[in-house]
């Protein structure tokens, strides 16, 4: 493996470690930037990609986007697109993240790992409109694929089943998740994971969605849940308002980039 490839993979792993910390020191940030700077004259695409990823960890959307876009002008393989998608996911831009994951999947339609990321992006965005075509694509590209071993594919099927059992249209999930994204964005938070199941209250069967976020202030979670409930109830023509219940809960896990 060439030296610059080894260096880039090592830096990606270091970045994943940094992303898992609740707070970064100035020393850690400066040290990582110095290491990335050494790549600029060797592999400019990797240099810009890593800066884009670091910016996402620091919560800087514009710098993250600009660096990833520069990287894509120099190299546009599926890993570049996935890492761009992961940065946008970390920053809460779920629609953009899903689009990038789908672009990556088009380059490697036989990849179970990439299909898994596509499914996760659909789940976090609450939009399954392109799922059937993606499923057909991987089955055509990889006829022997065992999708039962693809965790987020299994999770997505479970969520679809929950919605169907409670007679909730998937388009309404997308609408509600749009509200969720707006509320979380006002607190500089994003969806990191979900737990979805059905339950019954007052003889009404409903879907319970526990939205996992990394929130340092517990009082903010109370405010978020109050805002979610108020805004969802006030949505015009939303038929599932009493059958789709969202609750934000704290979560600390982070999404790893691809080396």
Chain Cα centroid distance, residue 210: 16
- Tokens, residue 177: 């998740």
Q: Is the pTM of this model over 0.75?
A: yes
Does residue 104 lie in a domain region? no
Write the CA distances from 254 to 99, 113, 193, 203, 213, integer angstroms. 20, 17, 9, 37, 10
Tell which of 47, 75, 103 closes a domain.
Answer: 75
Number of domains in the chain: 2
What single DSSP character describes residue 39? T
Does residue 204 lie in a domain region? yes
Write the CA distances from 74 to 9, 34, 48, 99, 171, integer angstroms. 18, 21, 9, 19, 37
Write the CA distances from 1 to 74, 98, 259, integer angstroms. 20, 31, 13
SS3 105: helix
Does residue 198 lie in a domain region? yes
Does residue 12 lie in a domain region? yes
Tell which of 75, 98, 128 closes a domain.
Answer: 75
Q: Give, for all 259 residues of the chain, the pLDDT tens digit.
A: 333 455 677 888 888 888 777 778 888 889 889 999 988 888 999 999 999 999 999 999 999 999 999 999 999 899 999 999 999 999 999 999 999 999 999 999 999 999 999 999 999 999 999 999 999 999 999 999 999 999 999 999 999 999 999 999 999 999 999 999 999 999 988 888 899 999 988 888 999 999 999 888 889 999 999 999 999 999 988 999 889 999 999 986 545 555 5
Does residue 246 lie in a domain region? yes
Task: Count how many Cα atoms sit within 13 Å of the Cα of residue 206 in the half-sphere of its side chain.
Answer: 16
Does residue 148 lie in a domain region? no
Tell which of 43, 59, 75 closes a domain.
Answer: 75
Does residue 112 lie in a domain region? no
Check the CA dihedral 234-90-138-106 and report its sign.
Answer: positive
pLDDT of res. 192: 84
Contact 146, 114 (CB under 8 A): no
CATH of the domain at 225: 3.30.70
Check the CA dihedral 123-71-58-78 and report its sign.
Answer: positive
- Tokens, residue 23: 């707070």
B/e letters for 224-243, b = 16+ CB within 10 Å, e = fewer, are: bbebbeeebeeeeeeebeeb
Does residue 220 lie in a domain region? yes
Write the CA distances from 229 to 166, 193, 222, 246, 248, integer angstroms. 19, 19, 11, 8, 11
| Domain span holding position 221 | 168-250
């Amino acid at each position: 493996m060439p030296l610059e490839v080894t260096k880039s993979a090592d830096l990606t792993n270091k970045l994943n470690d940094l992303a898992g910390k609740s707070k970064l020191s100035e020393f850690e940030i400066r040290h990582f930037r110095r290491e990335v700077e050494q790549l600029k004259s060797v592999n400019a695409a990797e240099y810009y990609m890593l800066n884009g990823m670091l910016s996402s960890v620091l919560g800087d959307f514009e710098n993250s986007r600009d660096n990833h876009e520069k990287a894509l002008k120099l190299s546009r393989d599926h890993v570049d697109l996935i890492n761009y998608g992961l940065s946008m996911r970390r920053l809460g831009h779920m629609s953009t993240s899903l689009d990038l994951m789908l672009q990556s999947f088009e380059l490697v339609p036989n990849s179970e790992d990439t299909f898994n990321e596509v499914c996760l992006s659909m789940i976090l965005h609450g939009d399954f409109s392109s799922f059937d075509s993606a499923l057909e694509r991987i089955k055509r590209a990889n006829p022997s694929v065992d999708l039962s071993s693809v965790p987020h594919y299994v999770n997505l099927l479970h969520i679809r089943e929950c919605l169907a059992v409670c007679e909730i249209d998937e388009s309404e999930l997308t609408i509600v998740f749009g509200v969720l994204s707006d509320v979380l964005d006002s607190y500089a938070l994003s969806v990191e994971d979900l737990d979805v199941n059905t339950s019954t209250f007052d003889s009404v069967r409903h879907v319970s969605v526990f939205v996992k976020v990394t929130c340092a202030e517990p009082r903010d979670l109370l405010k978020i849940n109050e805002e979610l409930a108020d805004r969802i109830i006030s949505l015009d023509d939303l038929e599932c308002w009493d059958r789709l219940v969202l609750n934000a809960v704290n979560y600390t896990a982070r999404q790893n980039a691809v080396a």
